[in-house]
Amino acid sequence: MLVPFLQRGIQLLLLPVHVLACLGLWDPFYKKVFPYIMAKLAPVYNHKVYRQKRELFSSLRKFAGPSGQLMLLEIGTGTGTNFQFYPPGCRLTCADPNPHFRTLLLKSLSENPHLTLERLVVAPGEDLQQIEDGAVDVVVCTLVLCSVTHSGKVLAEVLRVLRPGGAFYFLEHVAADQSSWTYFWQKVCDPVWRYFGDGCSLSRDTQKELEKTNFSELTLRHIRVSPHWLPTSPHIIGYAVK
């Protein structure tokens, strides 16, 4: 009973936001503001997980196709915070449902001339019909599966666009152990967190969704990102092979 009580208390504190959301006014406004917030926050987060990202993406090249070129799709590209970790010559397709990221994304591309942009796609991860079946060697998602409407549909699309033997790379904050205080606070904050995280859920069990998806191989590990008291601290990191 304590969780619903605290949830109501937080909702009362943020009543103006809640009212705007109910009227359908919050999301259109916040989608315009969110890219500039992420432009400030993403470098801070990247600094915290720099070593883990560098290690994770160091193996991207081994999934290049027969031509030797790496065709990479990033879902939820945002400001392009991962571009620095991609190998030279990588041919990149960027997909994001928020068109207001475009200016910041193009700025990041100009700062990473080792990459070649194939195309920009404005689409949610659940519906990537503009990308052909088996068209890419690698798909990347970082801090995206927490905020999509249906993570299972996103992963189904990942499998569809990957060529056989291609790989899906991920780094996601996830639900904590259900017996922990972290999970308690995740559940308390969940209803209002989505307002400021563009739909982000704190308590999504992304590992379970990955295990349910028909990958031939799944390699992941759990990490915590500082500060550990934040409800976004628990993460999973790894890759899955089609």
Those residues of the chain that have pLDDT short of 50 are: none
Cβ pair 13, 188 in contact under 8 A: no
pLDDT at 47: 96
Nearest-10 Cα torsion for 171, 172, 173, 177: -90
CA distances from 102 to 32, 68, 76 (A): 11, 29, 12
Rounded Cα distance between 228 and 234, Å, is 8
The domain tally of the chain equals 1
**CATH code where residue 153 lies:** 3.40.50.150
pLDDT at 50: 97
Rounded Cα distance between 96 and 92, Å, is 13
pLDDT at 190: 92
pLDDT at 185: 94
State the distance between the two ends of the chain, measured CA to CA, in whole angstroms: 43
Q: What is the DSSP string of 27-84?
A: HHHHHHHHHHHHHHHHHHHHHHTHHHHHHHHTTGGGG--TTS--EEEEET-TTTTTGG
pLDDT at 113: 96
pLDDT at 129: 95
Rounded Cα distance between 138 and 162, Å, is 7
pTM here is 0.94
pLDDT at 4: 86
Q: Domain range holding 15?
A: 1-241
